[in-house]
Each structure stands twice: as C-alpha cells, then as structure tokens.
Structure 1
Amino acid sequence: MAERKHDRKFVRTFFTTPTAVEGEEDSAKMLRGAVGLRGMKAPDVWVPDNEDATAPSMRDEGAENIVEVVAENGADFPGEIHPRVVWHRDSPATRYQGFKHMLQISDPERGAIEHIDGFVIPEVGDIDDWKKADEFITIVENEHGLEEGSIAMSVIIESGQAELAMGQLREEMGKPTNNLERLFLLVDGEVDYTKDMRAITPTGALPPWPELRHNTSRGASAAGLIAVDGPYDDIRDVEGYHERMTDNQAKGMLGIWSLTPGQVVEANQSPLPPENGSWLLDVGGRKVELESEDGVEIYDGNRLSLEETGDGYVLRVGGDGRELDEDELREELLDMTEYVPSMDDIVDSMEEFEAAKEAGRGAIAITQSATLRIDGVEIDVNKDRMWDEATYQAAMTPITLFQDVYRNRPDQHEELAEMYSEDVVERAMDVGA
C-alpha cells in the first residue's frame, strides 16, 4: 500500500464556511469569524467552502477572500485548512474553474499556501476522475515550485461512481503515473449522493445510507485514509446528531461534517472517552443510563420493577413478571447491564494489563462492580472481562485518538485537563508507548 503523506490519524470535525457572502460590506466576514475559532469550538479541519456554500457569482471573489484571510490569519489557526473548490465529473468547464482557483490560492507570493494543507474536491466520479484532480494539483505544485505531493487532496463521495472508485484505491495509489498518495479524507455527501442514486422517500427526507457510510469507512481503512460523514442539517437536533455519531463510531467513522460552531463542539467531544463511567440497563430493548448516587446505580423508570418477597424477588419488565432467587436475579441483571468505561477506567485497565504482560502473563481478568437499586431494592453485581493482547489493542483505539488530538491540538489542552484532570491526561499519553 502507498505510504501515508499526512500525519493525522483521526479527524473529528470537518467544518465548512462560505467564502463570500453577497450583500455584506465585507464579503469575507464569515471566513474571518471562522479563522478565529479556538479550543473545542475550532475544528480539526476547516474548509473555506468555495463550492455549494458560496453562490456561483461570488466564487471568484471567494477565492480571493481565501487568499486574503488565510495569508493574514492562517498561521494561528489551530486545525488544518483545506479549501473546497468547484469540480464535477461531467463538466470540463467546472473542473477548469476549480483548477484556476487552486492556482490562485496556491501562489506562494500571495502568502496563503504556507498555511493551507490541501484542497477538497467535490462531485468526483470514477477513479480516472480522481486522477484528473490529482494531476491538476500536481500541475499547481509544479507551476508554483512546490514539492510534488505536498498539497493534500480530499474527495467528497457524492455518486455511485465515486463509491465504487474507493474499492480501486489500494491498486491505484503508489503507481508512478499518479500522486494519489496525496489523498487525505474521504467525505460522504449524502444529499448529492441521494440525487445521483435517484432515491425517493415518502417525506422527502434523506435516506440514512448506512451502506455508504460503511463503504466509506472501509475504503478509508483499506487505503490508509480518514473517513468523515456528511452534514447533519437539523442543527437543533443535538440528540439526533449524537445518535448519528455513535452509529458512525461503531463503523470506524470517527469524523463528521459540522455546520455550526455548536456542532463542532459536540463532534470534537463525541469520540473522546467519557469523563465519567456509567452503567446502562437494557429495559425492553431500550438502553437507559442509570443515575449514580453515593456509589449506587439507580433505575428510576416505570418499565421495570423489582419487589423483594419473603424467599426471593419478583422482577417485572413491562407486563412480564418472573419469580427469581438471589442468584437468578443477579444473573438476569448481569445480562441486562453494560458498563461504559471512563477515560480513567480505560487507562487503569491498560496499565494493569501492561504490568501483567511485563510480568509474563498473557491474560488477566478485570472486574467491574456495582450496586443496583430498583424500586428501593439493592443488589450487587460483578462483571469479569478477560483482557488479552487483542482486547488491549482494541481498547487502544480511543486512547490513540486522544493522543492524536492532544499532540495536534495544543489549543485544547486546557479543556482536556478540565475534563479528565492533569493526572489522567498524563497517564493517557504514556500508555501504549
């Protein structure tokens, strides 16, 4: 496989900003606001968007605005900067316009390119179209005396052609006839993908496209790239945004498009290990987070009830009641509960396994204990999980993510220390070394 040309292992946030706003005294007003974002409000990747977010009549001015704002302020921006230019697999004129804008933005004498990490290419088609975009960027590099491959290229998967092209990347990257090793992000664009697929839903809403998100994550993993989900346009639906990110994370897609600084904050924090551990109880197929109080995990709902009798217990889930002795109840509750570990918990477990491995042991049992309280009745439960090398490596993913964030985003150090404490941060940076 071709060698990665980018240092980032993870991208949590992909934030787009219009490059020129019609009717404003300063058409670059939104760019100037975005480039000043810091901490959790600042994305890992900022995308001055000279395509869909900017009116066609304003795009020439938008390209000039990118040069001006990034040249003036790009050095202090804490994330990476990847402008999106126009492109279309079926339109040579559109591709040429995007090429001219890349030439304009990349001119070293203008001072912006030293702060720009790459370009985002939308509406790509089959693999030959990806190669055209790569070749145009190679020409830009040669025209301006830049090192070949120094400008990254990210693409937006907005067509069936582009989805199929991801399966050819492993074969194509690294050939001497292209510079596709410059590829960085694979980003889903579900709106145009829906149009390309001629899909219809009764309400007109977008289909969820779980297959596309899985295929993009798989394509990125196979080619050593990073997968990012498309925009979640109901910006007030924070719960839905979290559900989408949780579903993505289970597919290995840890990044998502953010449309507002508020979404940036949510998406920056979502893939990180939680500050505090929590117990979940599966009640009729729905997972409920238990409330922790003085070391006791409390269920306070009406879908589950527990009654203590003279010689046992009666557990009711919905309308179904069962008589159980203490051991049977404990087993039943163990099957119904799950523990979500905190950052501190994960680090503790990894340190314990590292110490055991150092002592020559290949596997250890790690116990999670809790006292559950349901309708005032308390019962202790214990879960034992075997840790071996495979478990350790799987647990390393969220820690590696944290380490990548900490190394690349010093502007977030203070907020991360407030979330986890200085001690936990220091230990998290040491594990796996």
Structure 2
Amino acid sequence: MSTERHYDREFVRTFFTSPTAVDEDDSAKMLRSAAQLRGMQAPDVWVPDNEDATAPSMREQGVENIVEVVAEHGADFPGEIHPRVVWHRDDPETRYQGFQQMLSIATDDRDAITHIDGFVIPEVGDLDDWKKADEFLTIVEHEAGLDEGSLSMSVIVESGEAELAMGNLRAEMGRPANNLERLFLLVDGEVDYTKDMRAMTRTGELPPWPELRHNTSRGASAAGLIAVDGPYDDIRDEAGYHARMRENREKGMTGIWSLTPGQVVAANTAPLPPEEGTWLLEVDGEEIDLVEEDGTQVYDGDAVEIEDLGDTYVLEVGDDERELDEDELREELLNMTAYVPGMDDIVDSMEEFEAAKEAGRGAIAMTQATTIAIDGVEIDIEKDRMWDEATYQAAQTPITLFQDVYEHRPDQHDELEEMYGADVVERATSVGD
C-alpha cells in the first residue's frame, strides 16, 4: 500500500469541537458562533460534536442544528467541517444511530452535505469495526447521490483495540473489499482510552500516554494519514498546552484538539516557524530563552554564573565550579547553547543550499554567531552546521507546513504577513519547489 495522501491537506493544526445543541432558547447558539470564526481563531477542522459534547436528549435536535447552520454558513467557513456522530465498537444499536445521524445530515434537502468534508467516528474498535463505519459511509454517499469515497472518515482512538488496529491499517487500506482510503485523521481520545485501559493515577489526573501519541503518529505516517492529539482539559494552563504541543511535534504530531477559541489560536500559531530566531541556554535539561539586548544574548538567572578573574574565568553551573581560560569558556558555552531559527533564517538557509546545489555543491556550512552575556561577561560564539540534502529535507518540514497553511487558509494571509512581513511570506511560499 502506498502512503500517498488522498486529500488536499498535509497538515491539520486544530481540531475544534462544538456542542450541536444546548439547552437554551437558541439551541444552535454554539454552532452559529463557531461557524463564523475566521483567521487564526478559526480551526483547520471544525467538528460539530453530536456525541460527548451534546446531551443524549439533545442529539436529535443536534442533527437538525448541524444541517441548519452548515447550510447557512458552511460555504464561507474557512476550514473543513467534519461532524462527530455517535458510535461504539460494542453496541450495534449505537452504531445504527450513528448511521442514521449521518444519513439524515447527508440527505436533507437543504444540502448541508455539500459543505461537509467527512464524519468523525468515535469509540472505534478493531479494523472490522472501522470497516463497518466505512460501509455505512458508502451507503450514505449512495443515498445522497455523492461519488463513492467523497466523504472522508476520521476515527478517535479511545481503546486498546483501536490502538492495535493502527498497526494493521497500512495492510488493509486499498483492498477491493473496503473504502478505507477515505480515512483522514487519527485522533487520540485519552479520557476514554484511560477508562478502557483501567489506568489509575494518585491524583485522578489523566496519564500522559506518550506511547499512545507515538503510536498514533506512527500509524498515521505509515498509512498516509494525519495524527491529532486529544483534548487538553486544563484550559487555563497555557504553558502546559504549549509544552504538550511541543512534545507532540517532536513525535511528528502537529495537530491537537482545541476546546476553546483561545486554544485554537494557540494551536494554529504554535507549529509555525518563529517570527525571529532565538538563542537558548540549556541547563540541567531545561531550555532557557536568552534575552536579546542590542545584538547580545543576555542571561540573568542564577543557574549559571561567570566570574572574570582577569586572565581566567570561573564558570559555575549548579554545584559544578571550574576555572577556565577564554577559549575553554567559549567551548563550554557553545555546548550549552542552541539556536532556534526563525522563518527568515530557515528561508535564507534553504535558498542558500538550493543555490549551492544548483552550482554542483552537495554540502555547505551554515554559521550562526552571537555574543553571550552572563554576569557582565561577554563571550563571542559561533556555531557551524553542515547542510546536506538530508538536512535540507528536514528543514523543509516547517516550510511545507507554512505553505500548506497559506494554500488552504487564505483567511489567515493578512495575519501571516503581519507576523513575518510580506517579503518573507512571498519567499517562503516559493522556496523548496
């Protein structure tokens, strides 16, 4: 089976759910609000949620609200629309209800289905269960007069069965007996996964489940799909949300569930290359951002101290204290620092490597230089990084993400130009072609 993707988007940053019906005078209030989000506040994937986010007694009204709101606003919504319906691997009645929800949405005369890109199926089990959902979608397409495979299917991995199924997905997709090529997102659902695994923590908090996130990212990569992390429930913990996204990106998982418009903005912007390059000081496994002052990178914490003795220096890092000459101190600081390239840096480096490759050179050295200031002591450092084709391809990932966003989210063009500048945006959209 090829890992060729069967959809336009290569990246999804945000998976935003909205209740389909609430117990208020306007039961579709939350849907209407979400449908009118634009720019960085609008998600890449909007999920009108007729499962967990909507009370069982309101789900029939929820189907009606999806049709009404999407028919009215769907054409102008800048992201994709993927309603979540009810489903359960162990309950045929619930699966049938999910089928009826999809059928009602797809065959309604108001043609909301023309603005819907697919459906999200929760609580899936083994691959046989995934195939049942796929078969229902094929029937829905037939009943709605749609081309077979025109609706995508995303699943939420909320059980050990579903986690194991991802390992067999690559071999099953593309067989004549199924339409699993319609798969789009693999989304983690850590809350129900924790329940299914009968896991417990002392505080009652969810385990971090790094293995699940790794396995979902691996499964998506092997099958040519997109991996999305589950919800981060502590909506006030912005630092924790950013840390979670950073950990995910290191696993190849760009997307994350967003519960609030604020989380949508954070998740939309966090994966993009930084506006400016920054220097880090690494101390005891912690990365500390240095502050630039007039071209000098300044550290003003207590974890690292330098004393100038005239001909030598005393470097103190935690409990470790050493006397060093200037070259030795420079070497130590080189080992303790790292550079985070900004968008302009990445584009410059890629353009320079492309020019070198065009001239017949297979590798070039890129240099970053700065001055580090600690306790008033200033030391000039330079870092060289050898760029070859493999380095170039790795550096291309954040640029490919940016290009994907720029292509599919024209509503964010103004904000992107404000972030980076029109010239950098123009160069970033063409580099790497």
TM-score band, normalised by shorter chain: over 0.9
Contact 2:67-2:108 at 8 Å conserved across structures: no
Separation (CA, whole Å) in 2 of partners of 1:310 and 1:96? 80
Query: Deviations for 1:302-330, whole angstroms, at most 9, x for unmatched residues?
Result: 11111111211111112321100111001
Bigger shift: residues 298-307 or 397-406: 298-307
Q: Does 1:312 align with 2:318?
A: no
Task: Measure, in 2, the Cα distance between the counterparts of 1:320 and 1:136.
Answer: 65
What is the total number of aligned residue pairs between the two structures? 432
Give yes or no for the alignment of 1:143 onto 2:143.
yes
Counterpart residue number, 2:19: 18
Residue 67 (structure 1) aligns with: 67
Structure 2 partner of 1:5? 6
Answer yes or no: is the 8 Å Cα contact 1:108–1:114 preserved in 2.
no
2:310 counterpart SS class = coil
Counterpart contact for 1:371–1:380, Cα < 8 Å? yes
Q: How does 1:136-175 map to 2 (within 5 A)?
A: 136-175=136-175
Aligned partner of 2:152: which letter? A
The separation in 2 between residues aligned to 1:172 and 1:342, in whole angstroms, is 41
- SS of corresponding position for 2:201: coil
**CA offset digits 1:65-109 (Å, max 9, x no partner):** 000000011000000000000000000100000000100111162
Q: Aligned equivalents of 2:262 and 2:22: distance in 1?
A: 21
Equivalents in 1 of 2:359, 2:219: separation in Å? 39
Show the counterpart of 1:180: 180
- Cα distance in 1 between the residues matched to 2:143 and 2:68: 20
Secondary structure of the equivalent of 1:5?
Answer: coil
Match in the other structure for 1:398: 398
Q: Is the CA contact (8 Å cut-off) linking 1:118 and 1:151 kept in structure 2?
A: yes
Q: Which residue of 2 aligns with 1:277?
A: 277
Q: Which residue matches 1:372?
A: 372
| Deviations, residues 121-166 of structure 1 (Å, cap 9, x unaligned) | 0000000000000000000011111100000000000000000000
* Corresponding position of 1:409: 409
SS of corresponding position for 2:85: coil
What pairs up with 1:14-413 in 2 under 5 angstroms?
Answer: 14-22=15-23, 24-107=24-107, 109-413=109-413
Amino acid at match of 1:159: S
CA-to-aligned-CA distance 1:1-34 (integer Å, 9 cap, x gap) = 2553211000000000000001x00100000000
Using structure 2 for the length normalisation, give the TM-score.
0.99
| Secondary structure class of the residue paired with 1:61 | helix
* Aligned-pair Cα RMSD in Å: 0.7
One-letter identity of the residue aligned with 2:111: G
SS of aligned partner of 2:109 = helix
CA distance in 2, matches of 1:233, 1:344: 34
Deviation at 1:268, TM superposition (A): 0.2
* Separation of aligned partners in 2, 1:303 and 1:125: 49
How many angstroms does 1:235 deviate by? Answer: 0.2
Q: Which segment drifts farther, 137-146 or 248-257?
A: 137-146
Report the residue type matching 1:421 in the other structure. G
Matched, 1:419 2:404: no
Describe the superposition over 1:194-218 as per-residue Cα deviations: whole angstroms up to 9, x where unpaired: 0000001011100000000000000
Give the unaligned 5+ runs of structure 1.
none
- Corresponding letter in the other structure for 2:6: K
Is 92-101 or 102-111 further displaced after alignment? 102-111
CA distance in 2, matches of 1:312, 1:145: 80
Distance 1:290 1:212 in 2: 34
Look up the equivalent residue of 2:76 and give its one-letter code.
Answer: D
Give the counterpart letter for 1:154 in structure 2: S
Identity %: 78
Q: Whole-Å Cα distance in 2 between the matches of residues 400 and 109 of structure 1?
A: 39
User: Which residue identity lines up with residue 168 of structure 1 in the other structure?
Assistant: N
Task: Work out the CA distance in 1 between the residues paired with 2:54 and 2:399.
Answer: 38
Q: d(CA) in 1 for partners of 2:382 and 2:97?
A: 63
Quote the Cα distance in structure 2 between the aligned partners of 1:4 and 1:303.
47
Partner deviation per Cα, 1:324-380 (whole Å, 9 max, x = no partner) = 011100110000000000000000000000000000000000001010000001010
CA distance in structure 2 between the partners assigned to 1:337 and 1:225 by the alignment: 36
SS of aligned partner of 1:110: coil
For the residues of structure 2 that align with 1:267 and 1:58, how far apart are their CA atoms?
Answer: 30
How far apart are residue 284 of structure 1 and its match? 2.7
